[in-house]
Amino acid sequence: MAVTLKKWDILDHLKTEEDMTLYLEACFDEAGDDSAFIAKALGDIAKARSMTQLAKDTGLGRESLYKALSGEGNPSFGTILKVINALGLKLHVATIPKELI
């Protein structure tokens, strides 16, 4: 019997607001200081919602957003904040116990 495999795609799993929030939280937990990892995660969420709508909401070009949120781009912190706000997300700050740093 032949086995048919499908390439795994995160967009198949980002269906609800809760899915997107949990995904981004997990990415922050795993990213360490890898800002490209976070930018890519935001890009995944943006694609799941609508990159075109995100471009309108942020006032940034769609093509620029694709590049900035690809994981290969280097978006400014200002761009990241615009994207987070336009996606209806909020960053929170918490103290990390010293033994976990």
The domain segmentation of the chain, as residue ranges, is 16-87
93 band by pLDDT with thresholds 50, 70 and 90: confident
Q: Whole-structure pTM over 0.85, yes or no?
A: yes
Question: Is residue 1 pLDDT above 90, yes or no?
Answer: no
94 band by pLDDT with thresholds 50, 70 and 90: confident
Q: What is the C-alpha to C-alpha distance for residues 19 and 10, in angstroms, rounded to an integer? A: 10
Tens-digit pLDDT profile for residues 18-37: 999 999 999 999 998 999 99
Enumerate residues 6+ apart whose C-beta is below 8 A from 30: 37
Q: Tell me, what's the pLDDT at 78?
A: 94
